[in-house]
Structure 1
Amino acid sequence: MATRVISPKLLQNLRCFTRSLNSSPSSITAVSPLNFAEKPPIDSTTTTSPDSIVDLDDVSKLFASIPTGKLLRSAINLHMAAIDPMVDVGMWVMRSKLMETVVLRDVVLGSIKRTFFEHFCAGEDVEEAGRAVKRIWGGAGLRGMLVYGVENANDNESCDRNLEVFLRTVESAKSLPPSSVSFIVVKITAICPIVLLERVSDLLRWEYKDPSFVLPWKLNTFPIFSDSSPFYHTLKKPDPLAPQEEHDLQLGHQRLQKICQKCLEANVPLLVDAEDTFVQPAIDYLAYSSAIMYNKDNNPIIFGTIQAYLKDAKQRLFLATEAAEKMGVSMGFKLVRGAYMSSEVRLASSLGFEPPIHKSIQETHACYNDCASFMLEKIAGGSGAVVLATHNVESGKLAAAKAHDLGIRTDNGRLQFAQLYGMSEALSFGLRNAGFIVSKYLQFGPIERLIPFLLRRAEENRGFLSSSTVDRQLMSKELKRRLKAAIP
C-alpha cells in the first residue's frame, strides 16, 4: 500500500504548494506560479518580458520554411474548421449510421483524407509518418513525436496487432535523422483491452478509499489519486479480478514492457498519453510502474501525461513527482490542457455528478501554468523533465520567459515544447526561433481508425474564437505579404 500512505511532511509540502498558487509573491515558498488570466500579465517573479523571448510579430520569419502552397492549404483548412455549421454537419456524418453505407463512406473518407486528415495527420502507416518527420526536421527544424493513433482495443488479438506496429515505429525511428524523433507515443487502450482497464481503474479507486482492500497483482507505483480526484466512476465495491483478467492484465503489462525495452535500446523516450478518466487510473498505474523499472541513472525514458483541465491535476502531479524523487526515479511528464471534455461532461452528467474538469477556461489556464511553473522549478533544480504541450500563446511565452529567468538553457533536453501537427504553427516556429526544442505530435494510422482523433480536433478548432485563431490571422497576414511581394 505504498502509494496510499503519504507522509505528514509530504502533505505539508502539498499544502504549501497549493497555497503558493493563490498567494502574494512574498509568500511563495514551494513554486512561483505563472500568471494565468486569458491574457495574463507578466508574472511578478519573472523579470524577462515574454514577448522578448518568443516573437510572433515577424510573420515572414515565422513562416519562412513553409512553401506558399502548403501555407495556403493550411489556412483554408483552419478557416473551414472555424465554420460551426460545416463542422456540425461533418461531425454528425462521421458519427452517424450513414458511414455504414459503403459508397457514402468512401466519399466521406476520401474528402476527409484530402482535407483534415492531410492537415492534422502524418499519414496512414509508419513509412508515411517517417517521411513527415524528415519534412518537418529538414525544412523547419522541428522534431517529431511518432503516434500510432489507434485506441480502445477490445481484445488481446487487436492489442497484439497494435503492439507490432508500435514496435515497428520504434525501429523506424532508428533509421531517421539523429534527434529528429523526440518521442514514441502510446495509448494504453491500444495495447490493453479497454474493459479491463476500466475494471483495474475501479479496483485502484476502491483501494484508495479503503486501504485494507488488497490488490495482489499490484506492482510498485507512484500515487495515482489525490483526495480531489473523481471517484464517482466506482460507486460500489468492485469484484476482484478473475484469473483470466489477471492474466490479460499481465499481457498488457508485458506489451508495454516490450515497447519500453525497444525504446531504451533505441534511446528514444516513450510517452504514455492520457485518456478518459474512467480508465486513466489504470493508465497511470501502468505508466508509473514502468517508469520505476526503466527511468534509471537520472535518465527519464518513460513519461506520463497530466491533463490540466482536471481539477485534481496539480495535486496528482505534485504527489507523483515527490514520490519519484524519494525513490530516486527521474520522472518526466507531458502537460496538456486535455482533449476529452465532451465525453467527461456527458459521463459525469449521466451519473448525476459534477464534471471533473474545471468550470472555466481561466481555471484551466491557471492549472496548466501552475503545473508548468512547478516542473520548470524542478528542472532548474536538476530533477525531472517536462514536455509543455500547449497551443496557448500566452502559456508558451510565459513558460519560455520563466525558463530564461531560471537559467534553463534552451537546448536543455529536459524542457521541450510540443504542438499537434497542423496546429499552432506560429507558436511552434516562434519557440523554435527562440532556440527551444520543439516537437510536433505526428498522429498516423488508417484514416478510419483515426476518426476519434479527427473528431477531437474538429471540436477543438471549431468557431472563430478557437485555439487556431492566432494561426489563421498570422497565416493570412503572411499570405497577403507574399502576394504583395509577388506583384510588381
Structure 2
Amino acid sequence: MASATKFSAIASRALSSRRLSSSASSLSAEVPSAPLDLADTRRLFASVPTSALVRSLATLSALAAAPLVDLGTAALRASTAAKERNLLRAAVFATARATVHRHFCAGEGVEEAARTVREMWAGARLRSILDYGMEDADDGTACDRNLAGFLRAVEMAASLPIASASVCVKITAICPISLLERVSDQLRWEQRDPSFPLPWRTNSFPVLCRSSPLYLTPREPEPLSEVEEDGLQLALQRLSTICQRCVEANTPLLIDAEYTSVQPAIDYFTYKAMQEFNRSEQPIVYGTIQTYLRDAKERMVSVVEAAEEEGFSLGVKLVRGAYLTRETKSSSSMGAPSPLHASIQETHECFDSCASFMMERVSRRPGAVVLATHNVQSGQAAATKAEELRIGKDDQKLQFAQLMGMADGLSLGLKNAGFQVSKYVPFGPVEQVIPYLLRRAEENRGFLSTSSADRKFIRKELLRRLVAAVARRT
C-alpha cells in the first residue's frame, strides 16, 4: 500500500471535541456502546506500514506549523499567477509535488491514480471517489477538454475492481463560470419574484428556499441571451454525457457543491440529471449539501420531498463545507450577513440533523446518503444511528467518506466496523490541482487544533510498534 498509505489524519473544520446537538431531530450526542472503536490503534492501522505512518506524521507536523503553511500557500499562489516559467516556479511546484500533492492526491496521471485506488482497495477495502482535478473553466473549449478528462476518469473507474470506485465532477469545470453566475442570478431573482420568467428552465425543483441568501443578486438580471441559452444547453449535455457513461459502467457520480455565487446553477444541473438518470432504487447521481450554510436543512428537506413526488431516487452527499474564507469575504464585501452558520457548533448541529433526517429517509424509501465527515463524534453517532435503523453495513444506502490525506484513523475505524467507506481521491498535475491544494492548506491552517487527535493516534501506534520491536530484540 505504498501509494495508498499516504494516509494522514488532519481533522476537518468540524472540531471533534465538540458535542453534538441533543435535540431529537439530530443524531444523539450520547453514544453508549458505539460500534466504532478508535482506541485500538494496532487494529486501526493494521494495514498501514510503519514508513507510511512516519511520513504522515511528518507531513501533519509540518502542516501544523502555521508560518510554514502561510509561506507555502503564498509561494503556490505566486507561482500559479506567474505567466512565465522560471526556476523559482519549477522549484515551488517540485516541492509541492513531493509534499502536499503526494499527501492529498493520488498522482498526476490516470495510471498512477488507478494504481493508488487498487492499492487502497486491496489493502484496506477502502473505496475511492475519483476526482479529475479541474475546476473553473472560462470558455467552451476548456469545458470540452475537461469533459474528456472526466470521461477518462469514468473509464478508469469501470476498469477497476467492482464497487471500488465512483467518480465526482465539478460543474464549474464543464460550464463557464460566467454562465453559471448568470444562471444563478436568474434563479435567485425567481426566488425573490416567482413571476420572473425563466424560459430555459425545464423543471421546478426547489433550488433555493425562504432562508436562502439572495444578496448576490441585488437587482433584476437581464434574461439569458440566445448565445447564453445555447451555452447552457451545451453544458447540460456535457453533464448528461458523463451521467450516461456512469449508467453504462454502473458507476456512481457525485456532483460537488461549490461557492454560493454559482451554487443555485449547480443544483439546477444536479436535480435535472437526477430526474433523468435516478430511476432505480439506488441512485447513480448524487448532489452535495454543505451544512455550514444556514439554509442547508431547509433546501435538503424540500428537494427530498420534491424527489418523492416526482418518483426518482435521491442521492445526497453531506459535507460541512470548504469555502469558508471565500464566503465570508464575499458577504462582507457586499455588506450582507454571512450565509454561514454563526458558529462551528451550529454547523455540527446542522450536519448531524441533516444526517439523521437522510438516514431515516433512505432506511424506508429509495435513495442513498454519503456522510462525508472528518468529525469523530459525527461518525460514531451516525454508526450508532445506522444500527438503530437496521441499515445493513453492506447496504449501498449509506456510505461514509473522507478526503485523501485527512481523517484516515476515522476512515479505517469505520471500515473495521464494517461500514462502506470511501476516500475522496483527486488526481492531476500539480499546477492543475493547486486550487484544491490551497483549500486543504487553508483549511488546515485555520483549524490546526483539530489535527491533534489524529496525530495522537499515529504517535500512539508508532510508540506501540517501537516498544514491540524492542521487546522482540530483547
TM-score when scaled to structure 2?
0.92
- Partners of 2:455 and 2:413 in 1: how far apart? 15
For 1:69, the equivalent position in structure 2 comes to 51
Select 1:91's aligned residue among 50, 73, 80.
73
Report matched runs for 1:177-256 at 5 Å: 177-181=161-165, 183-256=166-239
1:305 aligns with 2:294: no
Report matched runs for 1:31-50 at 5 Å: 32-35=25-28, 40-42=29-31, 49=32
Report matched runs for 1:414-433 at 5 Å: 414-433=397-416
Report matched runs for 1:282-297 at 5 Å: 282-297=265-280
For 2:145, the equivalent position in structure 1 comes to 161
Report matched runs for 1:435-474 at 5 Å: 435-462=418-445, 465-474=448-457
Give, as a single letter, the amino acid of the residue that structure 2 aligns with 1:329: F
- Partners of 1:484 and 1:267 in 2: how far apart? 47
For 1:434, the equivalent position in structure 2 comes to 417
- CA drift of 1:334 comes to 0.3
For 2:303, the equivalent position in structure 1 comes to 320
8 Å Cα contact 1:460/1:467 also seen in 2? no
For 2:105, the equivalent position in structure 1 comes to 121
8 Å Cα contact 1:303/1:333 also seen in 2? yes
- CA drift of 1:98 comes to 8.3
For the residue of structure 2 that corresponds to 1:472, the secondary structure is helix
Change (3 A) 1:399 1:105: same
Q: CA RMSD in A?
A: 1.5
Task: Please list the CA deviations of residues 98-154 of structure 1 after superposition, one character each: whole Å capped at 9, or x if unmatched.
Answer: 862621111111111111100100111222111111010001110010111110000
- Partners of 1:200 and 1:400 in 2: how far apart? 39
8 Å Cα contact 1:380/1:406 also seen in 2? yes
8 Å Cα contact 2:282/2:366 also seen in 1? no
- CA drift of 1:299 comes to 2.7
Higher mean C-alpha deviation, range 478-487 or range 239-248:
478-487
- Partners of 2:127 and 2:79 in 1: how far apart? 39
Q: Percent same amino acid among aligned pairs?
A: 55
Higher mean C-alpha deviation, range 206-215 or range 309-318:
206-215
- Partners of 1:22 and 1:136 in 2: how far apart? 34
TM-score when scaled to structure 1?
0.90
Unaligned runs of 5+ in 2: 1-19
8 Å Cα contact 1:121/1:442 also seen in 2? yes
- Partners of 2:246 and 2:98 in 1: how far apart? 33
Structure number with higher relative contact order (C-alpha < 8 Å, ≥ 6 residues apart): 2
Select 2:38's aligned residue among 37, 42, 56.
56
Give, as a single letter, the amino acid of the residue that structure 2 aligns with 1:274: A
For the residue of structure 2 that corresponds to 1:305, the secondary structure is strand
Change (3 A) 1:463 1:209: closer
Change (3 A) 1:69 1:290: same
Change (3 A) 1:464 1:344: closer
8 Å Cα contact 2:363/2:397 also seen in 1? no
Unaligned runs of 5+ in 1: 1-20, 26-31, 43-48
Task: Please list the CA deviations of residues 326-351 of structure 1 after superposition, one character each: whole Å capped at 9, or x if unmatched.
Answer: 11110010000000000000100000
Give, as a single letter, the amino acid of the residue that structure 2 aligns with 1:306: I
Report matched runs for 1:330-349 at 5 Å: 330-349=313-332
1:359 aligns with 2:342: yes
* 4+ runs deviating over 6 angstroms: 21-24
For 1:111, the equivalent position in structure 2 comes to 95
For 1:382, the equivalent position in structure 2 comes to 365
1:411 aligns with 2:394: yes
Select 1:368's aligned residue among 331, 334, 351.
351
Higher mean C-alpha deviation, range 467-476 or range 282-291:
467-476
For 1:14, the equivalent position in structure 2 comes to none
- CA drift of 1:428 comes to 0.3
For 2:12, the equivalent position in structure 1 comes to none
Change (3 A) 1:216 1:81: same
